[in-house]
Amino acid sequence: MKILHTSDWHLGRLLHEKSLIEDQRHALGQILLIMKENRHDALVVAGDVFDRSIPSVEGVGLFGWFLSEMRSFSAMPVIIIPGNHDSAARLSFCSDLLKVSNVFIQGDPQRSAQPLVLGGEVGARVFMLPYLEPHAFTGEAGEEVKFTHEAAVRTAIDRMGPGDGERTIDILVAHLFTTGGSPSDSERKFIGASGLVDPSLFARFDYAALGHLHRPQKISESAWYSGSLLKYSFSEAGDAKCVLSVDIKPGSAGVERIAINPLRDMARIRGKLADLLAGREFDAAQDCYCEAELTDPGLVTNPLALLRRRFPFILSVRQSSPESVFSERMIDAFTAERSLEDDFISFKQYLYAENPSADEMNMFRQICAEKTVE
């Protein structure tokens, strides 16, 4: 059984208010090409198809475009679960009708123990476990239930029963945060450890296709995150995005990463404004979505507009914190007599690491005199 594993598309997502629809269309086009050129038995999307529970019109349209394009050349089964960003009810709309087209969307935790059975050289049972809230299962009468994500996942997997040994392949598709996983800044965070799930729970499956964490990573011998479709935060600037081609046999799974190349890459740049504007070492970032960190000793006025001349796709600018010398001056203000002029000079030094000019001092004195007269 060979599957193509992807997740965390987040269709309709904005990056610093910039729409990524065309970037997402470009990436999905590559997945379509991979499926055209490489035989797989199923496509698995392990949650967070959309970025919001009420998805954008553009996101819904892009999802429809992908399924239509895929069906123009392949009848391969598509297996989809909702993630924590999706609305299970909205994503599952018309799911019974879509089954006719070999598109299987499972959004009901109570039905997660009912596998989808796929054919092939060796039959496969696919258990689709949507994102679970801690209170997803209340337990039998008189049964005490611990309300954590792990307890909910454990209950769901227990209901799936034991594997069938060598007679079939068992695959789990789930959206969750495992203990030991490496997160990025773009996932929705859980408070404390209540959201963590022990990966040992997946031991009985021949492969666990996981979603939620945006970095592609191996969690155990049989459990992998495919990672997100695109880089959705600057903490992922150095990551390589991919889909996973997984050849599954009873008791083993061979995983191959297939790269997804972005329409526009992401870069973090750091330095003084003059160096960023002229330094040849920053040439590679000119066509990227950029986040810049300025290290100038004083505040740079309107840096985004200045940097956009060289980096037209820059989305974020951060400025390093000024030196702590200003905090000492603030303490002095409580222990010594200080004038408004002293405060103005200190403030200019704090922002720009320089003293006010003679013209600025004259203007400040004039403003103070006018306010005194009023």
Q: Which of 118-132, 251-265, 344-358 has the highest mean pLDDT?
A: 251-265
pLDDT at residue 146 tops 80: no
Confidence at residue 132, expressed as pLDDT on a 0 to 100 scale: 93
pLDDT at residue 165 tops 70: no
pLDDT at residue 338 tops 60: yes
Confidence at residue 37, expressed as pLDDT on a 0 to 100 scale: 96
Residues 218 and 282 in one domain: no
Task: Give tens-digit pLDDT for 147-164.
Answer: 788 999 999 999 998 876
Q: Domain holding 202: CATH number?
A: 3.60.21.10
Q: Which residue has the tokens 């740079």?
A: 300
Residues 344 and 229 in one domain: no
Report the distance separating Cα 100 and Cα 91, nearest Å: 16
Q: Looking at the DSSP assignment, which residues form a beta bridge with residue 79?
A: 44, 104
Residues 242 and 331 in one domain: no
- For the segment 268-281, the average pLDDT, to the nearest whole number, is 96
- Better pLDDT: 9 or 322: 9
pLDDT bin (cut points 50, 70, 90) of residue 141 is: very low
pLDDT at residue 172 tops 60: yes
Task: Give tens-digit pLDDT for 278-306.
Answer: 999 999 999 999 999 999 988 888 999 99
Residues 291 and 359 in one domain: no
Task: Give tens-digit pLDDT for 92-102.
Answer: 998 999 999 99
Last residue of a domain, one of 212, 240, 259: 259
Residues 36 and 169 in one domain: yes
Count up the domains in the chain and report the number. 3
Task: Give tens-digit pLDDT for 305-330.
Answer: 999 999 999 999 998 765 544 454 45
Residues 231 and 296 in one domain: no
Closest CA to 106 of 17, 209, 11: 209
Confidence at residue 85, expressed as pLDDT on a 0 to 100 scale: 96
Report the distance separating Cα 252 and Cα 36, nearest Å: 25
Residues 226 and 338 in one domain: no
Confidence at residue 369, expressed as pLDDT on a 0 to 100 scale: 81
Residues 47 and 178 in one domain: yes
Task: Give tens-digit pLDDT for 206-249.
Answer: 999 999 999 999 999 999 999 999 999 999 999 999 999 999 99
- For the segment 340-348, the average pLDDT, to the nearest whole number, is 80
pLDDT at residue 121 tops 80: no
Confidence at residue 336, expressed as pLDDT on a 0 to 100 scale: 54
Range of the domain at 351: 325-373
Last residue of a domain, one of 278, 299, 319: 319
Confidence at residue 231, expressed as pLDDT on a 0 to 100 scale: 97
- For the segment 197-207, the average pLDDT, to the nearest whole number, is 95
Residues 106 and 226 in one domain: yes
Residues 275 and 170 in one domain: no
Confidence at residue 298, expressed as pLDDT on a 0 to 100 scale: 80
- Better pLDDT: 5 or 188: 5
Confidence at residue 162, expressed as pLDDT on a 0 to 100 scale: 83
Cβ contact 283:310 at 8 Å: no
Last residue of a domain, one of 259, 287, 305: 259
Inter-CA distances, 291 with 21, 103, 106, 235, Å: 20, 39, 38, 10
pLDDT at residue 168 tops 60: yes
Residues 153 and 289 in one domain: no
Contacts of 167 (CB under 8 A, 6+ apart): 123
Q: Which of 23-27, 105-109, 113-117, 119-123 has the lowest mean pLDDT?
A: 119-123
- Three-class secondary structure of residue 189 per DSSP: coil
Provide the residue type at 355 as one letter: N
- Three-class secondary structure of residue 177 per DSSP: strand
Residues 233 and 253 in one domain: yes
pLDDT at residue 118 tops 50: yes
